[in-house]
Structure 1
Amino acid sequence: MQRLSNQDFLNALDFETNKLDIVTLKRLLEEYYGEKNDIDFKKEIIEYQKISKIILAMANNGGGVVIFGITDDHKPVGAEKVDATDFNVGIRKYVPENLKYEDYYVDYKEDEMYGEFSGKTFLILYIPQQYRFAPFMAIKKSGEVIKDNVIYIRKNTSNGIASQTDINEIIEKRIYEEYNDLSELTLETHIEQLKTLYKYSPKSIGVTLGEKVGNQISQSITVDNKINEHHPQESFNAFIGDLIKRKKNKIKQYIEV
């Protein structure tokens, strides 16, 4: 992933007002991260559970970017730098492992050429679009900030609880993304998967002498057997055979045969 450089970030500053030009900044974010539905500014690094709630809400809404060290009116004031390990440990207390995000600092040296950015540090938190595993929920609650069994979603500039309509839309996007993930497999991947399936499909399934003797003995002995309701009706070989057939059809569709 390409990241904003110090100069890129600096280019978004209007030196006349000492504020970030939000239009320029959004354009930069779209250029580096792709089109984002959301961008949030925080004057300082807030409590981990509050940051986690933002991450959850943005992930359920297609991703976004949070920049710490910027006021609500887009003035760059800088944020205190915290240990990266401590930061991620604090976030992972609430955010599931399969929710991906990236965090990095943009540091400016003490130099008048940087204007309001001089000597300041900014933390950029990037949450990519990842409907593949959505909806995301917190793995731990924290008072009234984060509740368990609740799906948060980003609505305008706030983090609210998803409605049934919101959840339905998230699930629809998840299904669509799952389908795209499967459809984007290369021909080589399909072939390798087929080869693996063939390894589990024996050329011969003949019965051995021992099995024949065992069958004859078993027929002469009456035993009360309880049917295992969890035993699959389909044999393993039949299952593998069906997978092979499906995979071969997929390959034929891929090469338009």
Structure 2
Amino acid sequence: MIYEYVYPKSLLHFIKNPSHESLKDLLLHNTGETDFLDFKTKWTEFSKMAKHVLAIANSGGGCIIVGVSQNDEGAIALTGLNEDDFLDKADIDNKLANLLPKYLKYRTEDFHYNKDQLAFSNKRFQVLIIEYDPKYVPYTSVVQRNELRYGAIYVRQGTKSLEATNDKLVEIILRKVQSGGSGVNEYTLKEHLDQLKELYEEMASQKDTEYGQFIAELIERKKERIRQLLDVLPEN
């Protein structure tokens, strides 16, 4: 995956090489929450977690570290997770699966330090590592639940995950183009056809609404992309 926008270097190193040592280095030399990094004292309501995942994925990738708190001045505390708050990876995946687009990739890593690790002694952390893929951004919310608004595009703005402004949407698209993620030949034929199939399925579930008209427009554009890929002229 592409993480060229992620900073600081300690975060980039951790994402590429998640280990006890790289997490320790990140937490000891961090610059606080950023567009690519979020801290949670413990797992919160999962629609809130999904909102942060969407925002980080749209902003360039990064991670959410659970077991760390940050105060208003930016200082962090390595609180760790107790046994009851340390969730099974499969449980995390199950709770997030229906809240996120299926093309958004993420994974959970577990970290448990032994008694010889000083400030980390006998503490547990869990980290959601979130990928950035220019082919699929911007990711939109697929459900309407609590803080999640269906169809909304979330981005990171410092320590917060907010709905994207027009300027932020332009930034996302420019980043996508610069990464080479918007080219016609970037997808395989099968990926194009799978996407077209999904659009038709989405269209079938819609009535005569503005959103349904939007999906219909996307179907026509996707069909044109496939014609271009196959060098097939449309029928007159």
| TM-score (ref. length: structure 1) | 0.58
Residue of 12, 20, 24 corresponding to 1:6: 20
Residue of 92, 95, 107 corresponding to 2:97: 92
The reply to whether residue 243 of structure 1 matches residue 231 of structure 2 is yes
CA drift of 1:12 comes to 5.2
CA drift of 1:117 comes to 1.4
Conservation of the 8 A alpha-carbon contact between 1:94 and 1:141 = no
- Give the Cα separation in 1 of the matches to 2:182 and 2:26: 38
CA drift of 1:51 comes to 0.8
Residue 78 of structure 1: aligned partner: 80
* Structure 1: runs of 5+ lacking an equivalent: 14-19, 27-35, 190-238, 245-257
Q: Secondary structure at the match of 2:65?
A: strand
Residue 153 of structure 1: aligned partner: 155
Q: Give structure 1 regions of 4+ aligned residues with deviation exceeding 6 angstroms.
A: none
Conservation of the 8 A alpha-carbon contact between 2:108 and 2:128 = yes
CA distances 1:151-187 after superposition (whole Å, capped 9, x unpaired): 111111111111122222222333443257958x9xx
| TM-score (ref. length: structure 2) | 0.63
Structure 2 CA distance for partners of 1:5 and 1:167, relative to 1, 3 Å = same
Conservation of the 8 A alpha-carbon contact between 1:77 and 1:116 = no
Q: Which residue identity lines up with residue 156 of structure 1 in the other structure?
A: G
- Give the Cα separation in 2 of the matches to 1:179 and 1:4: 29
* Number of aligned positions between the proteins: 171
Residue 50 of structure 1: aligned partner: 48
How do 1:113-152 residues align onto structure 2 when only pairs under 5 Å count? Answer: 113-143=116-146, 145-152=147-154
CA distances 1:208-237 after superposition (whole Å, capped 9, x unpaired): xxxxxxxxxxxxxxxxxxxxxxxxxxxxxx
The alignment-based identity, stated in percent, is 25
Residue 39 of structure 1: aligned partner: 37
How do 1:214-229 residues align onto structure 2 when only pairs under 5 Å count? Answer: none
Conservation of the 8 A alpha-carbon contact between 1:78 and 1:120 = yes
Q: Secondary structure at the match of 1:137?
A: coil
Q: Secondary structure at the match of 1:89?
A: helix
Q: Secondary structure at the match of 1:131?
A: coil
Q: Secondary structure at the match of 1:60?
A: helix
Q: Which residue identity lines up with residue 39 of structure 1 in the other structure?
A: L
Q: Which has the greater radius of gyration? A: 1
Specify which structure has the bigger relative contact order, considering alpha-carbon pairs within 8 angstroms and separated by 6 or more residues: 2
- Give the Cα separation in 2 of the matches to 1:153 and 1:134: 11
Structure 2 CA distance for partners of 1:133 and 1:108, relative to 1, 3 Å = same
- Give the Cα separation in 2 of the matches to 1:159 and 1:120: 27
